[in-house]
Amino acid sequence: MAERDIIPPKHIETEFPVIDTDPHFTRVLRYMRPADYGVAAVTAAAGPAGFMLMERMSPSQASQAALRSSMRLMGAIGLTAGFLRAYNKSSLRFWGWEENAREVEMDMREMVDKVKNKEPLYGVSSLSPYMQGVAARNSRYSQIFFHVIPWFNFVNHNQHGVDTLKYFRAAEEELEAEARTREGRL
C-alpha cells in the first residue's frame, strides 16, 4: 500500500494516551471493565423499571398479554441501550478521552506479545488496502454517533492513529532483558 493511500486520522489532543482511534469490535469487548458491565446492567434494567413505574402511576388498562409484550419490548430496548452505553464507555478509553491506565497496560502487553510472536498487530484482513482504508474512515470515532446509528469496526486494518513503533521497541527491550537473564544463569 502506498503511503499516499493512507489518510491519517485527525489528531485530537487528549488528557490521556490514545490507544486506538478505531478499535476492533472484539477488542473493545475484551477491554471492558467490570464497571462497564454495571453501567450496562443498570441501563438495561432502567427501561422495564421505568415502564413498570409508569404503569403503576397511571394504569393503561391494557390486557396482561399486552403488558407482557410491552415489558419484553422494554427489556430488549434496555439490553440494547445498556450494551451500547458500555461499548461507548470502553471506546472513550481507547480514544484517551477518559482515564485509561489499565487499558494502556493491557494494550502494551497484547501488542508486545504479538510482536514477539511475529504476528500482525491488528490481525490479517482479506480486504484490499483501499477497502481497509474505507472501512477505517467509516468506523473511526463512530461511537460518537451511536444515538443515531450503531456502527462498529469489524475490519482488521492498520490505520489506528497510533505510532506502533513503541510496541516494537518494548518487545526489543524485553527480548534483550530475557537474553541477559539467560546469560546470567549460564
Predicted TM-score (pTM) of this structure = 0.85
- Please, what are the averages of pLDDT over each run of 10 residues along the chain (186 residues)? 61 89 94 96 95 91 91 95 95 94 94 92 90 90 90 91 89 88 75
How far, in whole angstroms, is CA 22 from its chain's centroid? 8
Which are the contacts of 135, defined by CB distance < 8 A and separation ≥ 6? 127, 153, 155, 157
Q: Domain extents for the chain?
A: 16-185
Q: Quick one: pLDDT at residue 110?
A: 94
Cβ-contact 56, 94 below 8 angstroms: no
